[in-house]
C-alpha cells in the first residue's frame, strides 16, 4: 500500500492545526498597546505550540521518507497521532487564556506526552512492518531523543503543580532538543535520492 | 480521467472537517477541573466523530486505491459524500452541547446513515464504471459491512428516542466494526505495488 | 511552468471554503425541533453554495486537465477566481441569517457573477497561452454555458429586488445547468490517458 | 531530501491562512447597506492581505521550482516564514476592526517586514545549499525587489505614526511591485520543462 495519501492527509491535518491555532489570538477591541497586553501569554503559548507542531511535521516528514509501504495498522497509528496533535489546539488556548496557570500547564504537558507516545507507537509499527534490519530501523536506532522526551514531559507535568513556569521551561527544553532535525535518518539516507515523490 | 485531484480534494475536505471539529471544544474561562467538566460530553462526541471521519478517510483511501479512472458521475457521488461528512461537524457539536439528548442523538445517527448511503452510492458508481469483473468489484464483494451498518444506524436512530445512550452505544459498535480496515481490498490487491501515486 | 502546485493550492482553498462554510450553521442551545427551525434558511443557503463550490471545483478540475503549462498571468487569474470564491462564504452566511432578504440575495448573485467573470478570464488567459488551435481551446469551444450563466446572474440580481425567492430560483437553475459536468472537455480528451498526475 | 512535502505543507498553510481570513468579515445582523458599512475597512484590509498572501504563494512557487533538494535548515527557514505569514491573519483583523488606526497599521507593517526577512533568510539558505553558481542563485540574482521592499516596510511603519493612510499606501505600492511575478526565475528557467512534479 502506498504512502502518498497518508502523507497528504497528515500534511493537511498538521497544516490546519498549526494555522487555526492563530485564531485563538482574539482581536482586541482597542487600538492601543494596553489592548494587546492581555494577549501576550496567548501569543507565547502560540509560539511554543507552533514550534511543537512544526517539529512533529518535520520529524513525520523525515520518518515517512524512510518508509517504503504502509498497512492498516500504520494508518491507524498515524490517525492516533493526529488525534493527540489536534488537542494541542485546545490546551494551547486554555493555557494562554489562563496565564499559564498550573492545571492548564499540566494538561498541556499531558497532551504533549500522549503525542510523544503516539509518535513512538507509530515508529514501532513502522519498524515492525519493515523489519529490524531495514533502513528505517537502522535510521531510527535506539530513539534516544524520543525516550528522553517522555521522561521530560512527565517531569514537566509533575513540576507544573509546584511552579508552572518551570514546567513550561522544561517543555521549551524538549522543543529545543528536537529543533535539530532528525539527523539520524537524514545521515543514513543521505546518499540516496529520496525526491521520487 | 485521473483520480489524483479527486483524492487531493477529498483528503483536504476530510482533513479540515476532522480538525476544525476540535474548535467545538470551547476553551473554558476558569483554570480548574470544575471548568473542564461541562466539556466532557463534547469531548466524547468529538472522539466518536474523529473515529468516524478517520474510518471514512481510511476506507476512501482503500477504495480509491483500486480505482483506475473516474468520470463526472463519480466526482459528484464523491462530492455528495463530502456534503454529508461536513454535516458531522454540526451534529457532533449539537449532540455534545446538549449532553447526548434524544433529538441530537437521532439527528447524529441520521447524518451517519446518509454518509453511509452516500458511500454506498459512490461504491456502486465506481463498480458501474469499472465493470463487475473488475478488480475493484471483486475487492468490494457483497459489501456485508456496508449493508449491516445501514441497519445498525436505523436501529440507533429509533432507539435514540427511547434511550440516547443505547443509540450512542450502537454507533460506537458500528465504528468498532469498521475500525478494522477494509481487509477485503487490501487482500485482493496485496500482491501488487500500489505506491505508484 | 508546471501546473501541479496551482492545482494543489486551488484544491486547498476550495476545500477549505466548502468546509468552513458549515461553521455558519451555528449550533442552537436547545435540543428541540423548534431550536433547529431558525437554521433552515442558513441550511438552504449552505446547500446552494456547497453545490456552487463543488461545480467550480469540478469545472476547474476539468479545465486544468486540458492545461499543459501555466504562466504568471494564469496564476494571477486563478488567484482572482479564488478571491471571489472566498467571498461566497460571507454572502452565504449573510443571506442565510437574513432569511433570503433582498439585498443579501442581490449581493449573493453579484458575488456569483464575479466568480463567473473570473472563471471566464481564467479560461481566456489559458486559451491565449495554449493557442486557438490547442486541444484546450477546442474543448472549451464557444463556452455557451459560461456566457448564458452571466446573463442569468444579472437577471437574478435585478429580480432579487422584486422577489428574492425568484432570484434564488434563478441561481438554482444556473447550478442545475452546471451540475452536468463539462462533457465538452471530457469528450474531447476522452480517448487519452490523463491520469499522469 | 525531496521538496514535495515542503511544497504540500506550505501550500496547505498558505491556502488556510488566505481562506480563513475571510471569516473576519463578521456577518452583520441587518440586511441593509447601512449594516454593511462598518465592514468596509475590514474588507479593504482583507483585499490587501489576500494580495500579499497570493504574492507570497506565487513567489514561493517560483522559488521552489528552481530548488533541487532541501535540508533540515531549509525546512526550518520555511516554517519560520509560515509563522510570520500566519500572523498576517491577526494584524489584518486588528487593522480592519480599528479603521486603520496608527498602532495596528504599524504592527501590520512590522509583520510584513518580518515576513520579508523570513523570505530573505529562506532564499539565503537555499542559495547556500545549492551553491552560488547554481541555476537558483543566478535566477534570484541580487534580489533587488526583495531588498527595496524591506526599506519600504520600515518607511511605512515609521509613517504610520504620522498618517496611517500614507503607510497603507506604501504597503499597497510594495504589493504592486511584487504583483509582477518573479520573471527573473521564470526567464532563467523558461526553456526547461519544470512540470515534472
pLDDT confidence of residue C71: 85
Residue B194 is predicted with a pLDDT of 37
Digit-coded pLDDT (tens) for A64-111: 888 888 888 899 999 999 999 999 999 999 999 999 999 999 999 999
Q: Do A194 and D102 touch (CB under 8 A)?
A: no
Residues of A in contact with D17 (CB under 8 A): 19
Q: What's the rounded mean pLDDT across residues D24-30?
A: 90
Considering only the beta carbons, identify the residue of A16, A17, A93 that sits closest to B27.
A93
* pLDDT band, very low/low/confident/very high, at A58 (cuts 50, 70, 90): confident
Nearest to B176 by CA among B155, B150, B156, B149: B149
Contact C19 B16 (CB under 8 A): yes
How many domains are contained in chain D? Answer: 1
Q: ipTM beyond 0.85?
A: yes
Which residues in chain D are contacts of A23 at CB distance < 8 A? 20, 23, 89
Q: What is the mean pLDDT of residues D121-147?
A: 85
Listed residue (A116, A110, A119) closest to A91, CA to CA: A110
What is the per-residue pLDDT for C82?
Answer: 97
Q: How far is B195 from chain A (nearest CA, A)?
A: 4
Residue D1: pLDDT band with limits 50, 70, 90? low
Residue A191's pLDDT band, with cuts at 50, 70 and 90, is very low
pLDDT band at D194 (very low <50, low <70, confident <90, very high): very low
pLDDT, chain C, mean:
87
CA angle D73, D77, D78 (to 5 degrees): 115
Burial, A191: exposed, middle or buried (Cβ in 10 Å; 0-12, 13-18, 19+)? Answer: exposed
Closest Cα in chain C to B91: C27
In Å, how far are C61, C87, C113, D33, D196 from C68, measured between CA atoms?
A: 13, 29, 28, 44, 12
The three cell numbers of residue A82 are 493526529
A109 touches chain B (CB under 8 A): no
Q: Which three cell numbers stand for residue D110?
A: 512590522
Cell 446547500 -> residue = C47
Q: Label residue B182 by pLDDT band (50, 70, 90).
A: low
Give the pLDDT confidence score for residue C171 in this predicted structure. 96
Contact yes or no for D31 and C101 at CB 8 A:
yes
A26 dihedral zone (left: phi>0; alpha: psi -120 to 50; beta): beta
In angstroms, the CA C114 to CA C84 distance is 6
Average pLDDT over chain D reads 87
| CA-based nearest distance A125→chain B, Å | 15
The tens digit of pLDDT for each residue in B121-166 reads: 999 999 998 888 888 888 777 777 888 899 999 999 999 999 999 9
Q: Does D135 touch chain C (CB under 8 A)?
A: no
Average pLDDT, chain A: 87
Instruction: Categorize the per-residue pLDDT at B188 as very low, low, confident or very high, splitting at 50, 70 and 90.
Output: low
* C-beta atoms of D57 and C9 within 8 A: yes
Which of D31, D180, D186 has its CB closest to that of C98?
A: D31
Average pLDDT of the segment spanning B78-86: 96
Please give the pLDDT value at position D77: 94
Q: What is the dihedral of CA A11, B15, D63, D167, to 10 degrees?
A: -120
DSSP state of C99: T
Partner-chain contact A29 D97, CB within 8 Å: yes
What pLDDT, on the 0 to 100 scale, is given for residue A168?
Answer: 95
What's the rounded mean pLDDT across residues D104-127?
Answer: 95
Percent of residues, chain B, with pLDDT higher than 70? 90
CA–CA separation, B153 and B147 (whole Å): 10
Considering only CB atoms, A18 lies closest to which of D1, D5, D13, namely D13
For the stretch C67-104, pLDDT in tens is: 888 888 899 999 999 999 999 999 999 999 999 999 99
- Among D71, D86, D102, select the one facing A22 at the smallest CB separation: D86
Residue B153: give the domain boundaries.
Answer: 4-195
pLDDT of residue A22: 93
C42-72 pLDDT, tens digit per residue, is: 999 999 999 999 999 988 988 888 888 888 8
Task: Check if the beta carbon of residue B16 is closer than 8 Å to that of residue C19.
Answer: yes
Chain C partners within 8 Å of D19 (Cβ): 13, 16-17, 20, 86
Amino acid at each position: 500500500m502506498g504512502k502518498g495519501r497518508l502523507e497528504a492527509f497528515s500534511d493537511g491535518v498538521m497544516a490546519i492545526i498549526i494555522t487555526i491555532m492563530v485564531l485563538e489570538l482574539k482581536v482586541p477591541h482597542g487600538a492601543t498597546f494596553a489592548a494587546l497586553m492581555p494577549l501576550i501569554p496567548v501569543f507565547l503559548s502560540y509560539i511554543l505550540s507552533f514550534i511543537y507542531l512544526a517539529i512533529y511535521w518535520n520529524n513525520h516528514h523525515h520518518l515517512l521518507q524512510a518508509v517504503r509501504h504502509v498497512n492498516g495498522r500504520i494508518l491507524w497509528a498515524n490517525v492516533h497521532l493526529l488525534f493527540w496533535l489536534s488537542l494541542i489546539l485546545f490546551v494551547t488556548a486554555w493555557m494562554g487564556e489562563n496565564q499559564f496557570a498550573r492545571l492548564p500547564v499540566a494538561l498541556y504537558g499531558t497532551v504533549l506526552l500522549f503525542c510523544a507516545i503516539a509518535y513512538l507507537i507509530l515508529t514501532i509499527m513502522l519498524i515492525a512492518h519493515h523489519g529490524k534490519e531495514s533502513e528505517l530501523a537502522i535510521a531510527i536506532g535506539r530513539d534516544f531523543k524520543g525516550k528522553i522526551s517522555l521522561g521530560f514531559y512527565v517531569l514537566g507535568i509533575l513540576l507544573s503543580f509546584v511552579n508552572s513556569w518551570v514546567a513550561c521551561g522544561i517543555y521549551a527544553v524538549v522543543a529545543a532538543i528536537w529543533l535539530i532535525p532528525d539527523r539520524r535518518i537524514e545521515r543514513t539516507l543521505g546518499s540516496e535520492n529520496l525526491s521520487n515523490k
